[in-house]
Amino acid sequence: MTETDCIEHIPFKNTGYFTKTMEDYLAKDAKILPFYNNFPNLEGFKLQIEEKKLSFKAESRTILVESLKKQYKSSSISELTKANIELLANDNTFTITTGHQLNLFTGPLYFLYKILSVINLCEELSVKFPKENFVPIYWMATEDHDFEEINFFNFKDVKFRWNTNQNGAVGRFSTEGLEEVLAVFSAKLGDSKRANELKELFSEGYIKHNNLAEATQYIANELFGKYGIVIIDADTADLKRSFIPFVKDELLNHTSYNEVSKTNLEFEKNYKVQVNPREINLFYLANNQRERIIFENGVYQINNTEITFSEAEILSELEKYPERFSPNVLMRPLYQEVILPNLSYVGGGGEIAYWLQLKSYFKKVEVPFPILLLRNSVQVVSEKRSKKLEKLNISLEEIFLKQNDLLTKKVNENSEVSVDFEQQKEFLKQQFSELKVIAEKTDVSFLGAVNAQEKKQIKGLENLEKRLLRAEKRKQHDLVQRITDLQNQLFPNQSLEERQRNFSEYYLEYGDDFIQQLKDNLKPLQLEFTVLKM
């Protein structure tokens, strides 16, 4: 199957799965223009390179490279990843970054799409800007503490969950207990060659590494290391030392709260606000806890603990132990841009939406605001399902319709009589329009009665239309069932499969070829949804 045969692109807007915020961003709508810097196209990257080049210092590069070398010290590393880490010392090297939670067993499919998006974008930019180097970064969300969001994954309609009483930053969680989850999952995988490959990957990751950060780094490195991905765990004292001035500013001046609050007032006029700032957008990490820092009555209180600091004490704590201060969802983006020579953040719609709230904050603290790129999204369609779609005369774009709309469309197309009363409703409206003209000329009080009758007649037609459609669906029961079953297979729980399925399902079927096909076909700057026929 050639590249042309196996791939089709659909505008994100036409899928019905993306918000107005994302639709307007991709369309460069004037309303959203104030909330981003450079747009994700080649001209935007040209401008971003110049902006970042002026702001990122050699000292920051040295700290970054040394920290990464420490993190990879006991890991098997590909030559390309090793070379990329060394390149980061050069002032003509820039990063493209995506971040993701430490989802168990890689979590939902879009974990892969995020990482492959940054890898492919770096390759494309290397061709377009041959004098610069571009390094793909996977930023592990090791400091996240929302364990409930990552303690499960789905495989063939079964939810596998890890129960543990650990608290604090999830990257520091011991992997103890994951062998039980792996045992249950392994039984479900079967005993094929590919199943055994998956068991080995996850066993090496979770059984032979002490914490969740190390395990996730191992698994991501095994899957993507050959493409040069550099995996970073920013929960380290050396990297956080670079961030001290911004943490200090946050503690004393509450800059993120002030700036993001002002932005949100403007943003919410047209779009849904994703994140609301707190007065201090930092956590304190200690004793297996990650708790909010609260400023009350001149004292810094660590939420849910007895720990308190005066201003002088907390600033001293910051200088001595920067690793104990953890940025929340609003400050993590700034931390990323401070320690990396980064040009672009690649994320999902929800992530890009909250980044859009941060531009004025970045401007205030004088850090370049990165290009925001909506990651690749993919719908995989097997050859077998592709043939079924063909037989049912359903196009790849039509499969994204809401199920009731799809069934109505196809039942109507297959019916001997029209079950669409739109023409009749338009005719009725025209008749009542003429009646209204007569009423206005003769007796205006009669107008209310005409309007009421029009509403009643239209409602009656709509009810007849629904009854006819129900009857036609019963008559075409076999067609309705086949369409319903097929769409449910493609969209589990009537949601994009990338948010539901684990990559293991496709690895069992296609092996390494699945990741390679994605790698070969994802075009990050095309800014469209990808349908991949396998």
At 142, list the tokens.
């090791």
Inside any domain, residue 506? no
Inside any domain, residue 186? yes
Residue with tokens 């539901």: 500
- Number of domains within the chain: 3
pLDDT the model gives residue 468:
65
Secondary structure element (H or E) that encloses residue 188, with its range: helix 178-189
* Residue 315 shares a structural domain with residue 353: no
pLDDT the model gives residue 2:
45
Query: Please, which residues bridge with residue 9 across strands?
Result: 530
pLDDT digits (tens, 9 = 90+) for 393-423: 999 999 999 999 999 889 888 876 666 667 7
At 182, list the tokens.
């792996």
* Residue 76 shares a structural domain with residue 105: yes
What's the CA gap between 230 and 265, in Å, rounded?
37
What's the CA gap between 14 and 56, in Å, rounded?
39
* Residue 18 shares a structural domain with residue 65: yes
Inside any domain, residue 507? no
Inside any domain, residue 503? no
Torsion sign over Cα 295, 300, 302, 303: negative
* Residue 214 shares a structural domain with residue 352: yes
pLDDT the model gives residue 1:
44
Inside any domain, residue 501? no
What's the CA gap between 454 and 409, in Å, rounded?
27
* Residue 284 shares a structural domain with residue 357: no
pLDDT digits (tens, 9 = 90+) for 319-366: 999 999 999 999 999 999 999 999 999 999 999 999 999 999 999 999
**pTM to 2 decimals?**
0.90
* Residue 154 shares a structural domain with residue 287: no
* Residue 78 shares a structural domain with residue 191: yes
* Residue 45 shares a structural domain with residue 129: yes
Inside any domain, residue 382? no
* Residue 320 shares a structural domain with residue 307: yes
The one-digit pLDDT tens for each residue of the chain (534 residues) are 444 468 999 999 999 999 999 999 999 999 999 999 999 999 999 999 999 999 999 999 999 999 999 999 988 899 999 999 999 999 999 999 999 999 999 999 999 999 999 999 999 999 999 999 999 999 999 999 899 999 999 999 899 999 999 999 999 999 999 999 999 999 999 999 999 999 999 999 999 999 999 999 999 999 999 999 999 999 999 999 999 999 999 999 999 999 999 999 999 999 999 999 999 999 999 888 999 999 999 999 999 999 999 999 999 999 999 999 999 999 999 999 999 999 999 999 999 999 999 999 999 999 999 999 999 999 999 999 999 999 999 999 999 999 999 998 898 888 766 666 677 767 777 877 777 777 777 776 777 777 888 788 777 776 776 776 676 667 778 999 999 999 999 999 999 999 999 999 999 999 999 999 999 999 999 999 999 999
Nearby residues of 508 by Cβ (< 8 Å), 6 or more positions away: 189, 190, 192, 194, 195, 198
Inside any domain, residue 478? yes
* Residue 462 shares a structural domain with residue 451: yes
* Residue 236 shares a structural domain with residue 248: no
* Residue 218 shares a structural domain with residue 136: yes
Domain boundaries, position 304? 244-327
At 497, list the tokens.
């499969």
Instruction: Tell which phi-psi region holds residue 408, choosing left (phi > 0), alpha (psi between -120 and 50) or beta.
Output: alpha
pLDDT the model gives residue 414:
83
pLDDT the model gives residue 261:
98
What's the CA gap between 138 and 432, in Å, rounded?
62
State the alpha helices, DSSP H only, in 208-358: 212-224, 237-241, 244-253, 255-267, 311-320, 332-339, 349-355
Report the candidate in 281, 292, 367 with the shortest Cα–Cα distance to residue 332.
281
Inside any domain, residue 178? yes
